[in-house]
Amino acid sequence: MHIPIGLLIDRFSIKKVIPICVLLTSVGLLPLLYSSLFLNAILGRLLVGIASSASVLGIFKVVKTGFGEAKFTSLVGMSITIGLLGAMYGGRPVDYLVSVYGWKTVINAFVIIGVAFSILLYFVLPKASEEGRQYHFSIREMWQDVKSIFCNSRVVVLSFIAGLMVGPLEGFADAWGTLFFESFYGFDRGHASILPSIIFLGMCFGSTLIGYITDKTKSHIQVVFVSNIIMILSFLLVFSGKCNLYILCFLMFVIGLLSAYQIPILGKVRDYTDSRLADITSAACNMIVMMFGTVFHTLIGIFTEQFGGVSKSLVVIPAALILALILLSILMVKQFFIRNITVSSNVTL
């Protein structure tokens, strides 16, 4: 739903769309309280997922509106850091509240807070700019916008590269990492489960750090290139089987830190389209990256069944990173020659 909601934000402004999405996220919790039908619970969760996709789109729009493109990557990185901290450490306070007040009371409180927050956002978020008002709602125009993004080869290629590099997060940290450390290194469940979680901790720091470095250097592709190489080397060390627990903790943190490569890519794809479509282009890139998460989960599951274990199947992650490195190298060489040709032409003139 990134694309439809992104288009709605472009047409109707964040002041209208974001509060509605926050409200729908709260409403999606109600079937858990007031319905005993499993289908209603599924529909509620689906509604939560659809409306929640507006969060990252809202960040793109607010950063662009309030601070401009110059600070886009650093501020988006900081926002993602805050979001990850909430995802990592928000569970314990919720568990405590549930143990004290019961889950129904807690969910009711979340619904009320969500409704109040949606009302607050309506008054806090900025109105649509004059630039945004000149584009009227039209299915044909929306289709042309989507078509222009997905027919842009540079946007598609860079999004594809970002997808190839998402394996450490979507394939390793959130699903198969624990099983790998149990079977390959022989760690107990406690230590094996801690190691993949360090990747998310690393990304908390990396989102802000990588965003800041990218904004200062304006070298989006180069930052992604270096991140890719270090992640490949880190995985090769992990798969060597010769690392102790402390070295593995360090490598997991480094992998997580550099998994924030998504920040400069989200910023770079904006340069390849019209400024009016910058936010929706970043949303399309983010959508493609998330789709690759499903691909990694599926491939690792299939290979695990074929090879009879998770250790060999996880080779798909560094293999995808190497493919991304090749594509990045081609992209950088192409940019280098284009830059030299441009400079030579200017000197001749």
Domain membership flag for residue 128: yes
Domain membership flag for residue 339: yes
Kindly state whether residues 260 and 167 are assigned to the same domain.
yes
Residue 254: predicted pLDDT: 96
pLDDT band at 345 (very low <50, low <70, confident <90, very high): low
Kindly state whether residues 267 and 234 are assigned to the same domain.
yes
pLDDT band at 348 (very low <50, low <70, confident <90, very high): low
Report for 60-64, 215-219, 255-259, 340-344: range of highest mean pLDDT: 255-259
Q: Which residue has the higher pLDDT, 129 or 98?
A: 98
Domain membership flag for residue 244: yes
* Other C-beta atoms lying within 10 Å of the C-beta of residue 45: 14
Kindly state whether residues 117 and 38 are assigned to the same domain.
yes
Count of domains observed in the chain: 2
Domain membership flag for residue 178: yes
pLDDT digits (tens, 9 = 90+) for 45-76: 899 988 888 888 888 888 887 787 778 888 88
Kindly state whether residues 282 and 150 are assigned to the same domain.
yes
d(CA 128, CA 15): 7
Is residue 57 within 8 A of residue 76, CB to CB? The reply is: no
Kindly state whether residues 128 and 183 are assigned to the same domain.
no
- Residue the block writes with tokens 């040709």: 341
Q: Which residue has the higher pLDDT, 68 or 250?
A: 250
Task: Compute the 3-state secondary structure of the chain and give helix, strand, coil in percent, each to the nearest 5.
Answer: 90, 0, 10
Residue type, 141: E
Residue in 326, 318, 321, 173 with CA at minimum distance from that of residue 239: 318
Residue 263: predicted pLDDT: 92
Kindly state whether residues 155 and 281 are assigned to the same domain.
yes
pLDDT digits (tens, 9 = 90+) for 221-232: 999 999 999 999
Kindly state whether residues 95 and 174 are assigned to the same domain.
no
Prediction pTM value: 0.84
Task: Select from 83, 101, 133 the last residue of a domain.
Answer: 133
pLDDT band at 7 (very low <50, low <70, confident <90, very high): confident
Cα torsion angle, 64, 66, 68, 69, sign: negative
pLDDT digits (tens, 9 = 90+) for 11-42: 778 888 899 999 999 999 999 888 888 888 89
d(CA 198, CA 117): 32
- Average confidence (pLDDT) over 301-309: 85
Domain that holds residue 19: 2-133
d(CA 125, CA 21): 14
- Average confidence (pLDDT) over 144-158: 90
Is residue 77 within 8 A of residue 212, CB to CB? The reply is: yes
d(CA 331, CA 337): 10
Burial of 89 from C-beta contacts in 10 A (0-12 / 13-18 / 19+): exposed
Domain membership flag for residue 278: yes
Kindly state whether residues 123 and 250 are assigned to the same domain.
no
| Strands annotated E in the chain | none
Task: Select from 133, 156, 172 the last residue of a domain.
Answer: 133
Domain membership flag for residue 303: yes
Is residue 209 within 8 A of residue 78, CB to CB? The reply is: no
Domain membership flag for residue 167: yes
What is the CATH number for 340? 1.20.1250.20
Q: Which residue has the higher pLDDT, 174 or 119?
A: 119
